[in-house]
Amino acid sequence: MEWFTAYLGYAAGALLAILPIVNPLGAVPLVMSVAAHLPEQERQRQIRRACIYTFVLCSSFLVAGSLIMSFFGISIPGMRIAGGMIVAFLGFGMLFPDPRDASRQPPQPGEIRHDIAFTPLAMPGLSGPGTFAVVMSLGSQASARHGWDSIADFLGVATGILAVVLISWFVLRGAERFHRILGATGMVALTRLMGFLMICIGVQFIINGLSTLVMDPQAWSGLAEALRQGAP
């Protein structure tokens, strides 16, 4: 029963950590602009494919995250700190957007593409460096455990990713309705709220990474060894 509790905890934690970064409401204006020329049936098909691509990308980083970290020699605290910095930076950009972004020109007729599922909807619309950093960090925490606990944690994170993708599909398939209900002001307010939550999540990731680093005697012994080797 403990593994099921851990599974539910990781699923809820992954949902709360990933959803503000994916921010499907923030992708509504993107869908309205790049898919405006598509028939309704084709638009829905592109949205479904974009959500599938997002799930596959996030799941790939979840599974291969520990292998990537081992290959490049990245520690769990390092991943948490770097991921927190990326998420906080992206959140800061959402909370205080660049005024020049509002002056971007809409796509020209020659630039319009019919296949928009992977780019720009899946990447960078729904997933990007911040999403992958959080997924890899959650995966590294799960891989640090053993036995059924580790399996339950991985399944919990995968369930959280699936829940985020389903929420994104529900929001994007009704993009016109959400845009009409919320309006431009409501979309801006929600985007800035998500940006604030991302900053909080990023700072907490940094705190967790620093706490683990401070409490890890191997990290201090490695630092002392590096200082001794660098000393004249």
The predicted pLDDT at position 14 comes to: 92
The predicted pLDDT at position 167 comes to: 96
pTM of the model: 0.77
The predicted pLDDT at position 108 comes to: 47
**Region 150-175 average pLDDT:** 92
Confidence of residue 218 (pLDDT cuts 50, 70, 90): low
Q: How many domains does the chain have?
A: 1
**Region 14-30 average pLDDT:** 88
- Rounded-to-integer distance, Cα 88 and Cα 93, Å: 9
**Region 189-200 average pLDDT:** 85
- DSSP string across 15-58: HHHHHHHH-GGGGHHHHHHHTTTS-HHHHHHHHHHHHHHHHHHH
Q: Each residue of 58-91: pLDDT tens digit?
A: 999 998 887 887 788 877 788 888 888 888 888 8
The predicted pLDDT at position 217 comes to: 64
Residue whose C-alpha is closest to residue 2's, from 162, 205, 145, 144? 145
Q: Each residue of 111-157: pLDDT tens digit?
A: 445 678 998 899 888 998 889 988 988 887 777 677 777 888 899 99
Please give the residue range of the domain that contains residue 168.
2-230
